[in-house]
Amino acid sequence: MEELGFCGIDCTVCPAYQATIRNDAAMREKTAAEWTKMFGNDFEMEDIVCYGCQEREKPVFGYCDKCRVRLCALERGVLTCAECSDYVCEKLAEFYEQVPQEKARMDKRHEVFLRSQRPE
């Protein structure tokens, strides 16, 4: 099952999401160590908590809580950025340079959205 972030990332494949949903301390510890090396920040096991980008009541991972794309989507009240009238905006374009596979997923979703908006 896919649980998409506003930008198109599949949250279900994220180790922070998986560790949180499974309540898996070993996975949290492993992810903290890997992300400390990968991103050059000091992550602790307690930092690895996320219920997915779409969550509004429960915690999301530290960066995600401040993500410009997520904050914009929440403000606009869209299900994903693909349903936004400004798709692809500058914020997304920068993000998609790093993860083009997410853009491909969202492009398809945007096409479906546009078709649904056409009068019959």
- The neighbouring-strand residues paired with 10 are 4
Position 111 scores a pLDDT of 93
Let me know if residue 73 belongs to a domain.
yes
What total number of domains does the chain contain? 1
* pTM for the whole structure: 0.78
Let me know if residue 99 belongs to a domain.
yes
Let me know if residue 5 belongs to a domain.
no
Q: Is 33 exposed, middle or buried (0-12, 13-18, 19+ CB in 10 A)?
A: middle
- Comparing C-alpha atoms, which of 90, 89, 81 is closest to residue 110? 81
Let me know if residue 23 belongs to a domain.
yes
Position 44 scores a pLDDT of 92
Let me know if residue 4 belongs to a domain.
no
Let me know if residue 39 belongs to a domain.
yes
- Domain enclosing residue 63, as ranges: 11-117
Position 2 scores a pLDDT of 64
Distances (CA, A) of 47 to 7, 27, 83, 86, 98: 22, 12, 31, 33, 23
- What is the spatial distance between Cα 93 and Cα 44, in angstroms, rounded to a whole number? 31
pLDDT, averaged per 10 consecutive residues of the chain (120 residues), comes to: 82 91 96 88 90 86 84 93 93 86 90 85
Let me know if residue 22 belongs to a domain.
yes
